[in-house]
């Protein structure tokens, strides 16, 4: 079981007062996690490398192992302007057991960054994208548009009208295979993930989790299945699909 700390949204680089406030939050939260007997602590969704390094320092001080992942927004660099591969290398060199990326980007736009990170660091790497159909034009789930969707009160599908932009389980299967081939060691999903997505990841890696007993067996579907009796009986329906 992992404990977790994440971006505070009050961190400012080169600001002693903000650093002090963030440090106190992290120390308090890490202590709660350690008191609860966690096996390790995740620091995640940091857009600032400085905040990630601060989180790492405090996790390591507690004696726990640290998984530290960055959230890379549209500009493709941390808020300080550091390329993700270089930022991950600095976290790895500072003692993180696992470094990588989570949130903000979907499978299509996180993979190119993961390739660079894999080349740059020696420690295991983590990938936890959001399960949304981000593109080269709309790199992040905050910037996704939905031409067929209605206006939202805040002008974007993010965060409450992303439903039609969600990846299918098959897209997540494909992402998982590609991530494995790159050399990603620690894999998962971030905001918007459903249990069927996570199960698809496990199955793509050759696992059979308990939830696999509920994976759809399409051979039993009354129209799309393989039962010859049903196929004959529902011939009209099949033609009308
Ligand atoms: Zn997220």
All structural domains of the chain, each given as residue ranges with its CATH number in brackets, are 2-207 (3.20.20.330)
Ligand 1 ion local residues (Cβ < 5 A): 103, 190-191
82 phi/psi in degrees, rounded to 5: -90, 130
Q: How far is the CA of 189 from the centre of ligand 1 (A)?
A: 8
How far apart, in Å, are the Cα atoms of 52 and each of 56, 115, 135, 195, 241? 6, 21, 26, 28, 51
pLDDT at 228: 86
Ligand 1 centroid to Cα of residue 234, in Å, is 44
User: How far is CA 86 from each of CA 82, 131, 209, rounded to the nearest angstrom?
Assistant: 7, 25, 35
CB 104, CB 141: distance < 8 Å: yes
Do 4 and 33 contact (CB within 8 A), yes or no?
yes
pLDDT at 220 over 90: no
As a whole number of angstroms, the distance between CA 119 and CA 121 comes to 6
For all residues of the chain together, what is the average pLDDT? 96
21 CA → ligand 1 middle, Å: 23
The SS3 assignment for 209 reads coil
What are 45-90's pLDDT values in tens digits?
A: 999 999 999 999 999 999 999 999 999 999 999 999 999 999 999 9
pLDDT per position as a tens digit, 85-144: 999 999 999 999 999 999 999 999 999 999 999 999 999 999 999 999 999 999 999 999
Distance 231 CA to ligand 1 centre (A): 43
> What average pLDDT does range 195-205 have in this prediction?
98
Strand segments, DSSP code E, in the chain are 2-6, 40-46, 66-70, 98-102, 125-128, 186-187
pLDDT of 125 reads: 98
Give distance in angstroms: CA of 193 to centre of ligand 1: 9
Q: What is the pTM of this model?
A: 0.94
Distance 136 CA to ligand 1 centre (A): 19
Would the pLDDT of 231 be above 90? no
> Would you say 144 and 165 are in contact if contact means Cβ atoms under 8 Å apart?
yes
Assess whether pLDDT exceeds 90 at residue 232.
Answer: no
Mean pLDDT, rounded, for 183-199: 98
Residue 151 has pLDDT above 90, yes or no: yes
């Amino acid at each position: 079981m992992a404990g977790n700390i994440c971006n505070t949204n009050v961190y400012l680089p080169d600001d002693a007062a903000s650093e002090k406030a963030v440090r106190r939050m992290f120390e308090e939260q890490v202590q709660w996690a350690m008191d609860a007997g966690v096996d390790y602590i995740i620091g995640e969704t940091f857009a600032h490398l400085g905040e990630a390094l601060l989180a790492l320092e405090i996790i390591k001080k507690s004696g726990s192992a640290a998984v530290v992942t960055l959230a890379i927004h549209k500009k493709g660099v941390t808020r300080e302007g550091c390329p993700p591969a270089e930022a991950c290398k600095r976290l790895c060199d500072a003692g993180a057991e696992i470094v990588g990326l989570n949130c903000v980007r979907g499978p299509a736009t996180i993979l190119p960054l993961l390739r660079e990170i894999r080349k740059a660091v020696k420690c295991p790497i983590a990938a936890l994208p959001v399960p949304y159909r981000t593109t080269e034009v709309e790199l992040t789930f905050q910037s996704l548009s939905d031409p067929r969707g209605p206006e939202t009160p805040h002008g974007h599908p993010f965060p409450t009208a992303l439903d039609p932009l969600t990846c299918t389980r098959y897209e997540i299967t494909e992402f998982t295979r590609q991530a494995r081939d790159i050399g990603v060691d620690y894999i998962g999903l971030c905001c918007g993930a459903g249990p069927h997505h996570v199960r698809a990841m496990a199955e793509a890696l050759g696992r059979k989790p308990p939830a696999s007993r509920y994976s759809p067996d399409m051979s039993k579907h009354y129209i799309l299945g393989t039962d010859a009796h049903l196929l004959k009986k529902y011939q009209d329906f099949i033609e009308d699909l």
